[in-house]
Amino acid sequence: MRIAVVADSHLAQRAPECRANWAALRDAIAGSGAALTIHLGDISLDAATQPHELAEAAALCADWPTPLRVLPGNHDLGSGSGEEPLDLARIDAYERCFGARHWIVDAAPHWQLVGLDAQVLGSGHALEAAQDAWLAARLRERPEVAHRLLFLHRPLIRAANDEPGRAGRYVQAAAAQALLDGPLRATLRAVVSGHTHQWLDHAAHGVQHLWMPSCAFVIPDRLQNRVGNKQVGYALIELGASDADGMNGGWSHRIERPPTLHPHALDRLACFDGLHASPPPLV
């Protein structure tokens, strides 16, 4: 099974550069052979401060060439993640536009794709406990599944070369460790996240961690430290066809950058040109 993974599209009528890249991405994925597209969050430019941008983003997804599963990001729901209280009105608005904030997809034989709402992790809110209980119950339903990929907006594990004490980039540490030590532990092959607008592939705690680049724009080094590769693009993931493909299920991934996908810089977007207007908080 082939899956397209996109992140941080930051769609809004006031962001024509992001909308142009989204159209280019649509064309590329239509010709990629992907059977499913997963969006890792920040689908809107900044619905946390401009709530109508959720509906604008949803409208731009209406003719997507594959089934589309979406996860929420901080620019969709607000920071959450223990950094600020969860806003239930934002959550309701998101669910009206994009459906469930967590989901499981049965993929190739012996594979499941697990999508979680990173914004509730570390919040201590009842929604976090509810998501934990939902995950444990769903995994018990399919004990025969040998391999799983986890998708969420924020990375779980700090990269070795990142700034010490860097706030806002990762899932809160205790919540991340609880997830890695929880019921996913035996079958988890990789954690796939967005949020950073950088591409990075690293291993930690016996699990592969993939940071997906944004499909909208890059953040210049003067505004954000470089941890991985700053580029635009999307990923294609191929899942092994059978359990005979080894302990890791025979899966692979690659980053694609269509020539029509432009590496816009955050501080040169029309709505934030020269940072005279406030850009989304940097990660």
d(CA 136, CA 67): 25
Q: Scan for tokens 């399919």, then name that residue.
A: 142
Range of the domain at 178: 2-275
In this prediction, residue 282 carries a pLDDT of: 62
Contact of 182 with 136, CB cutoff 8 Å: yes
In this prediction, residue 240 carries a pLDDT of: 81
User: Does a structural domain hold residue 85?
Assistant: yes
In this prediction, residue 136 carries a pLDDT of: 97
d(CA 116, CA 100): 10
d(CA 178, CA 183): 9
Question: How far, in whole angstroms, is CA 207 from its chain's centroid?
Answer: 17
Q: pLDDT tens per residue, the chain (283 residues)?
A: 999 999 999 999 999 999 999 999 999 999 999 999 999 999 999 999 999 999 999 999 999 999 999 999 999 998 766 677 789 999 999 999 999 999 999 998 899 999 999 999 999 999 999 999 999 999 999 999 999 999 999 999 999 888 877 778 999 999 999 999 999 999 999 999 999 999 999 999 889 999 999 999 999 999 999 999 999 999 999 998 555 555 567 899 999 999 999 999 999 999 876 544 555 556 7
Q: Scan for tokens 């946390």, then name that residue.
A: 48
Q: Is the dihedral of CA 162, 164, 167, 173 positive or negative?
A: positive
Tokens of residue 136, six digits: 């444990």
User: Does a structural domain hold residue 105?
Assistant: yes
Amino acid at 173: A
- Among the listed residues 196, 183, 7, 173, the one whose alpha carbon sits nearest the alpha carbon of residue 82: 173
In this prediction, residue 275 carries a pLDDT of: 47
User: Does a structural domain hold residue 155?
Assistant: yes
- Among the listed residues 232, 221, 197, the one whose alpha carbon sits nearest the alpha carbon of residue 211: 197
User: Does a structural domain hold residue 191?
Assistant: yes
Q: What is the CATH number of the domain that holds 221?
A: 3.60.21.10
User: Does a structural domain hold residue 280?
Assistant: no
User: Does a structural domain hold residue 283?
Assistant: no
User: Does a structural domain hold residue 240?
Assistant: yes
Q: pTM, whole model, 2 decimals?
A: 0.94
- Among the listed residues 85, 84, 121, 83, the one whose alpha carbon sits nearest the alpha carbon of residue 102: 121
What is the tally of structural domains in the chain?
1
User: Does a structural domain hold residue 72?
Assistant: yes
Q: Under 8 Å CB-to-CB from 136, ≥6 apart: which residues?
A: 182, 183
